[in-house]
Amino acid sequence: MAFAAPSLKGRALRYLAQREHSRVELERKLARHAEDSAEASAAEQIAAALDALQADGLLNEARVAESVLAHGAPRFGARRLRQTMQSKGLAPELIAQTLEQARGSELERALELWRRRFGSAPADASERARQMRFLAGRGFEAELIRRVVPPAGAGTDTDASDFAADLE
C-alpha cells in the first residue's frame, strides 16, 4: 500500500512543525517538490500554499526573527545575527527592529561568552589577538571586543569579574 505524496501545504506544515521558517526558506524547500500542472505553475502553487499558511497565522516572519534572536543571541553578536536573518530572507525593517532589542545586552553577552570560553586575561599579545578573533568571528563589533578582552599581561590573577567591574 503506497501513500500519496504530501501536498505542498502538508510539506510546509511539516517544516514549520520542526522550527520557524521564513517564507523565502519555505519557497526554497518546496521548489524541489512542486511540479507545473495545467492549472498553475510551480511558483503559483507554492505561493498559494504559503498564503494559506500565512492567513492561518502559521507562517509569521516576526516569529522567525524572534526565534533567531532567542537562539543566537547568547552566542553571537549583532553582525552575525543580521547575517542569519538576511539569509532567511527577512525584511530589512524587521531585522533592524529585532536587532535593536539585542543591542542593549550586547556588551553583557560578549563578556559572558568571553568568560565561558577564556575566563582569564591573555598572557601575551598573540593570545589577546586570538581571543579578539574569536569574538569577531562570532559577529561582535571591534569596539565592543576591545572593551571586553583585557589587555595582554594584565596579570595571571586577573579574572573576568575584575575586568567586568572596570567596564561599568
Look at residue 113 in the predicted model and tell me its pLDDT.
Answer: 96
Calculated CA dihedral for residues 140, 146, 152, 154, nearest 10 degrees: -110
Confidence (pTM): 0.81
Look at residue 36 in the predicted model and tell me its pLDDT.
Answer: 66
Look at residue 158 in the predicted model and tell me its pLDDT.
Answer: 43
Nearest to 12 by CA among 39, 37, 56, 27: 27
Nearest to 27 by CA among 11, 38, 5, 40: 11
**Strand, helix or coil for residue 61:** helix
Residues 6+ away with beta carbon under 8 Å from 79: 139, 140, 141
Which segments in the chain show pLDDT lower than 50?
Answer: 156-161
Look at residue 155 in the predicted model and tell me its pLDDT.
Answer: 57
